[in-house]
Structure 1
C-alpha cells in the first residue's frame, strides 16, 4: 500500500521538531558552558559560599603633638550557621546560653537565630565580645556546631571624656543612618557609624574597606570550611590642631573645680587654630562601643549639650574690653579723665551698683579696667553714648556665628540702640548702663569670646576657628588639609591698641585677674561675673599671653556656670592652659617664682 503525501509530511514535521529541540538544547548548553561560563560559575560559587564581613579599623584621631585620641582595639563577634536538624528546644537553649555569656538580649538572639534558620543563611548574633565572653562561647562551640567567632576592629577612646564634644562617638547604624549609607556596599545593618562630632562629620574618611571571611557551606547552609580571609583596609587618619598638653591641662583644671558645668577654649590668634576645647561635663564615648561585659561600668545618662558653642551668656565685664575700645575710638572720654566711684551710680529713677560696694574712689581708664569698676563705665558710656559701644560690638562680630565646624552653634545676641530701633522700641538710660558692662540683652557663647580675645591679641584679625589640621590616608597620602580663613579685620587707631594692651596687662598684674599671672610671661586678661536670675552668677575669664617682644601665641576663654567670680573660678583654669602652651618655651629666671594669688581682687 502506498503512503499518502499527508502522512509523509507529518513524519517530516515530527523529525524537524526533534531536530529543533536538540538545536535549542545545544545552544543553551553552549551559552551556559562557554558564553556565560563565568557568570554561572560565580552564581554557583555564591550558592556554596557565604561572606561574613569583618569590620576594618576606623581611621585614628591624632593631636598635633602626636597623641592618639581615638583608635581601635580587637574585638570578637559570634556568627551562627543554620542547621535544619536543630529543634526549637535546641535553638531556645543555644539562644539562652549565648545571651548569658555575651550579656545580650536573649529574645533578640532567639529571633536572629530563627531568621537565620528560615533563610538558611549565617547571621552575626553578638558583637563586641571581651575576654570572658570569648572563653565561655569557645566552650559552647564544642557542644553546638554552627557557632563561629571572628575577630574585628572596635573603636576605642584611650582618654575617655577628653575632647568628647569635638570627637563625638560611634554607634550601631539605625534606620535614619541606613537611608544615608544603604547605597554603599561597605555598610551593613550591623555597622557602627559616626553619630556626632568628628566621627559623624568625617564618617566617609574614617570608614575603611571591610575585610571578610569566605566560607564554604553545603546546600543546607551548614559551614563546611573557611576558604579565605581577606584583611580590611583601614580608614584615613584625622590630625587635629589640638595640643594634648593644653587639652590635658584644661580638662584637669575644670575637673578640679566644684562646679558642675564649665568650658575652656584656647585659640592660636594668628590662625584660628583650636588648641584646646574642654567642656564639663564631658562624656565617655567608650560607653557605646565597649566590650559588653564592661557595659555596666558606664553611666548611661550623659550630657551632650556643648556649652562652648550652644550655651549663651551675658558677657558681663569681659565685654568691657569692647567698651574700652569704644571709649578710646570715640574721643569723647580722655584716657586720663577720672570719675568718682562711691560704689553706686545714680541714674535718676534707679541706682546702679558697682560690684565693689565701698567704691573705687577716683578712677581713670586704666584703673577702671584693671579693677573692673562698673561706675567708671557707667559714666563713660553716658558721656559718649551707646552707639559707640554697639559699633565696637558689631566690629567684633557679636551676634554672628563664628563658623566653627561644630553642630548647633548659636549666634548670641547683639544689643544696642539701632537694634532696639529696628524693633520699634524705646531705648532708656538703663539700657546704656547695662550695655557698657556687658549685661542686659547682650549674649555670647564661650567660642565667640575666645574669637574676640584672639582678635584683640592679633590687633583686629578675626579668623574662623578650626580644629582639623589634615586628613591622611594610611599610606601617607594627604587627602585634605585645614587652613586659616580670615573673616574680617578690625581697624583701630594704634594708640587704642596700645592703651588696651596696657589696660589688659594691668588687670593681671595688679587687678582682678591676678590669679592668671605667670612669671616670665606677659599675660593680658579680663575677669567677668555674669548676673544669673536663675541662681548663682556665672564666672568669666578671657586672656592672651606672649613672651616679651613676641607676638601673642595663645588666647583663652573660660566660662564656669555658677562660678560667681571670674577671678577665683575661671582665671586659674586659663592660667593652667597658658602655662601648658608655654611650658617648653619659658626660660625660667633664677629667683624664686612669686606665687600667684597674693593681693587678690575679687570680681
Structure 2
C-alpha cells in the first residue's frame, strides 16, 4: 500500500497561503469600508444624483462711505424637468406656449423638450431671462408641470466703467484656469472667475459656495425625482479705502478734459490709503457678464483698454519734478533761498540756448518765486550749482526708479535720469543734460502713482507708505477675514526742516499767486505744483500735484493728475485736482462749497442693492 501522507512542511505552507489570502481579503475590506468608504460613497452618490448648479453671489465691493460699487443681481433660467410621460401634442403645445414669451425658435425649443423627455433628464431651455417676461412664464408654470424658473446670481457693476481699472472684471474660465481648478468642487467648466483687478486678486474671498438642485437618477441616468434644493453661501464683502465722491469727481473731471485720457491718483498722506484711482481710457465690466437685451446702451465693439495709465504710464514729469530739484538745491547749501537769478526768458548754455516757458522772462527770481512761477531759468542756474548728482540722489530718495508697492500687477518703476548711470555706461554727461534733468525732462520718467507718492511725502514730512486700497474683508456671517490694516512705511526722505518749510511755502505760493491759482479752495490751504511735459509724439502732457490742509491739521489728501495731451497743467489738470480735494474734504469745508458729485448710474438704471449698513439678503 502506497503511503500518501502529505509532508508537514507542505501543510504548513498551504495554511500560510490561506492565512495570507484571508489577511489580504480583510485588509481590502477595511480599505473599501473604512479607509476609502467616504471616497466610494461619493462615487456612488455621483452615480445616483445629478446637480443643476446655481451660482452663488460673489462678495460685494463697497467704497469707504459704503456705496455698493460691485454687487450681484438675480439671473433667471428656465428649466424643464421631465416627469410623467407626455404625448406629442402636449409637448408641441408646451413648446409653442413657451416660444412666444421667450422669443425663441419654436422648432429648437420643441427639439430640446423632446430630447429631455426621451432621456428623462432636465434641460435648461433659456438663461438670463429679462424680468419683463417672468409674469408670463409664471402663468405657464401652473399650466405645464415640469416647467420651472431657478434663480442664480450674476455679477453686476451698477456704475459701469466706474473704478474699472481697480475693480477688474470676471469671465468664463479658459482651459488653463479650469485645469488648475478641476478638483475644486466649487467650480465647473462654465464657472466665471476674476480675470483682472480686485476680482482676480481676491477670487478666493469673493467666490461664494454654489448651491444647486439635486436630482435622483436611476442606473441609466434617467430622472426619478428632485431630492432637494441646497442654498448657496455668498462670498465675502470687500470694503475699500476709495471715497466714492472723490472717485466720481476724478472720473468726471478726466472725462471732460481736453483729451479724456490720463490718470488721477489720490492718497491719504497719513496712511497710504488710496482715496481715488482713475485710469482712462476705461471700460465697462458689464460687457463680460451681460447678454442679449441687457447689452443695449453699451458701446458696440469697444476694445478692452487693459493698459493702466496710473501704474503703467511712464511720462516726463515736467515741472512737478522741480519739487525734487528744489530739495537738491536747498540741501546742497550752494544756493541761498533768497539768492536771485535773472530770467530774461532764456538761458545760454554755450552750444545751445534753453528757453523758459515764459518767453518775456520772469526778471530777478529767488527760490520761492521760482517755484511759484515755475521759472525754468531759475532752476537752470541753481541746478548747475547744486550738481546733477545731487538731483539724482534726491530723485532716488523720492523713489523714482522703484515701484510704489501697491498690490496690483504690472506697475512700472519710471526712470531715474542722472550722471551715475551715464558713468556706468562709460558715457558723457553734458551741461544740457543737467538743465533737462532740473526741469523734469530728458530721460526722467514718472508714473501718476509715483507723482502721488511724491506730493504725499511732501505733505507728511517725507514718508512713503505702501499704497493700499482694501480696508477690510467681511464674510457673509459677519466674521472679519481681513481686519483694518496699519500703515506700512517703505522709506523716508531725510531733509532739513528748513528745506521742507521752504518747499511747502513755494508750493503754497504756486496756488496763491503762481501757476496754480485755479486750485484755490475756500476754507482750505492748498499746496501744489503744475507741470507741462514736452511730448515728441504730439501735444504736451499736463500735470498737477497737490495736497490740502485745514486748520493746520495733518493733510488728509494728496492728489496727482495727469491729462494726456492736456497741453497746460494750469488749465487742464488743476481743476480736476480741485474737484477731487473738494469732494474728499466735503464734510470739513464751508457749507457754501460746491456739492460733491455722486457716482453716476448708466442712463435708465437703478441701484438694486441696499447700502452695506443694512441687513444683507441673498441677492
TM-score (norm 2): 0.82
Greater shift in the superposed pair: 68-77 or 139-148: 139-148
| Deviation of the 1:49 alpha carbon | 3.2
Summarize the alignment of residues 50-89 of structure 1 with structure 2, pairs less than 5 Å apart.
Answer: 50-79=50-79
Q: Flag the 1:80–1:532 CA change in 2: closer, same or farther, 3 A.
A: farther
| Deviation of the 1:78 alpha carbon | 3.9
Counterparts of 1:410 and 1:261, CA distance in 2: 18
Aligned to 1:278: 278
| Deviation of the 1:85 alpha carbon | 10
Secondary structure, aligned partner of 1:573? helix
Q: In 2, are the aligned partners of 1:469 and 1:483 still within 8 Å (CA)?
A: no
Aligned to 1:439: 441
Secondary structure, aligned partner of 2:523? coil
Q: What are the superposed Cα offsets for residues 179-202 of structure 1, whole Å, 9 maximum, x if unpaired? A: 232221000012111111000100
| Deviation of the 1:79 alpha carbon | 4.2
Q: Flag the 1:183–1:357 CA change in 2: closer, same or farther, 3 A.
A: same
Q: Flag the 1:131–1:379 CA change in 2: closer, same or farther, 3 A.
A: same
| Deviation of the 1:483 alpha carbon | 2.9
1:186 aligns with 2:186: yes
Q: In 2, are the aligned partners of 1:120 and 1:220 still within 8 Å (CA)?
A: no
| Deviation of the 1:581 alpha carbon | 1.5
Aligned to 2:290: 290
Counterparts of 2:591 and 2:152, CA distance in 1: 50
1:487 aligns with 2:490: yes
Summarize the alignment of residues 130-529 of structure 1 with structure 2, pairs less than 5 Å apart.
Answer: 130-132=130-132, 148-217=148-217, 221=221, 223-299=223-299, 300-301=301-302, 302-481=304-483, 482-529=485-532
Q: Flag the 1:205–1:377 CA change in 2: closer, same or farther, 3 A.
A: same
Secondary structure, aligned partner of 1:442? coil
| Deviation of the 1:131 alpha carbon | 2.3
Counterparts of 2:419 and 2:39, CA distance in 1: 76
Summarize the alignment of residues 106-117 of structure 1 with structure 2, pairs less than 5 Å apart.
Answer: none
Gaps (5+ residues) in structure 1?
Answer: 1-26, 594-603
Greater shift in the superposed pair: 222-231 or 523-532: 222-231
| Deviation of the 1:127 alpha carbon | 3.4
Aligned to 1:553: 556
| Deviation of the 1:219 alpha carbon | 5.9
Aligned to 1:579: 582
Secondary structure, aligned partner of 1:297? coil
Secondary structure, aligned partner of 2:364? strand
| Deviation of the 1:384 alpha carbon | 1.9
Structure with higher RCO (Cα < 8 A, 6+ apart): 2
Q: Flag the 1:35–1:350 CA change in 2: closer, same or farther, 3 A.
A: closer
1:530 aligns with 2:509: no
| Deviation of the 1:354 alpha carbon | 0.7
| Deviation of the 1:292 alpha carbon | 2.8
| Deviation of the 1:397 alpha carbon | 0.8
Counterparts of 2:465 and 2:589, CA distance in 1: 27
Secondary structure, aligned partner of 2:282? coil
Secondary structure, aligned partner of 1:205? helix
Greater shift in the superposed pair: 142-151 or 315-324: 142-151
Q: Flag the 1:333–1:123 CA change in 2: closer, same or farther, 3 A.
A: farther
Counterparts of 1:551 and 1:40, CA distance in 2: 64
Counterparts of 1:334 and 1:153, CA distance in 2: 66
Q: In 2, are the aligned partners of 1:457 and 1:544 still within 8 Å (CA)?
A: yes
| Deviation of the 1:286 alpha carbon | 1.3
Counterparts of 2:114 and 2:375, CA distance in 1: 75
- Give the number of aligned pairs: 557
Q: In 2, are the aligned partners of 1:72 and 1:154 still within 8 Å (CA)?
A: yes
Summarize the alignment of residues 16-35 of structure 1 with structure 2, pairs less than 5 Å apart.
Answer: none
Counterparts of 1:585 and 1:114, CA distance in 2: 68
Gaps (5+ residues) in structure 2?
Answer: 1-24, 595-619
Aligned to 1:21: none
Secondary structure, aligned partner of 1:578? helix
Q: Flag the 1:65–1:276 CA change in 2: closer, same or farther, 3 A.
A: same
TM-score (norm 1): 0.84
Aligned to 1:599: none
Counterparts of 2:112 and 2:284, CA distance in 1: 30
Q: In 2, are the aligned partners of 1:102 and 1:129 still within 8 Å (CA)?
A: no
Counterparts of 2:112 and 2:177, CA distance in 1: 21
Greater shift in the superposed pair: 270-279 or 556-565: 270-279
Q: In 1, are the aligned partners of 2:119 and 2:222 still within 8 Å (CA)?
A: no
Counterparts of 2:177 and 2:189, CA distance in 1: 10
Aligned to 1:15: none
Aligned to 1:8: none
Q: Flag the 1:429–1:120 CA change in 2: closer, same or farther, 3 A.
A: farther
Secondary structure, aligned partner of 2:555? coil
Q: Flag the 1:428–1:220 CA change in 2: closer, same or farther, 3 A.
A: same
| Deviation of the 1:567 alpha carbon | 0.4
| Deviation of the 1:266 alpha carbon | 0.6
| Deviation of the 1:207 alpha carbon | 0.6
Aligned to 2:573: 570
Counterparts of 1:254 and 1:235, CA distance in 2: 33
Secondary structure, aligned partner of 2:412? coil
Counterparts of 2:414 and 2:82, CA distance in 1: 59
Q: In 1, are the aligned partners of 2:522 and 2:590 still within 8 Å (CA)?
A: no
Greater shift in the superposed pair: 132-141 or 207-216: 132-141
Q: In 1, are the aligned partners of 2:465 and 2:491 still within 8 Å (CA)?
A: yes
Counterparts of 1:444 and 1:202, CA distance in 2: 28
| Deviation of the 1:348 alpha carbon | 1.0
Greater shift in the superposed pair: 45-54 or 410-419: 45-54
Counterparts of 1:325 and 1:35, CA distance in 2: 76
Greater shift in the superposed pair: 274-283 or 194-203: 274-283
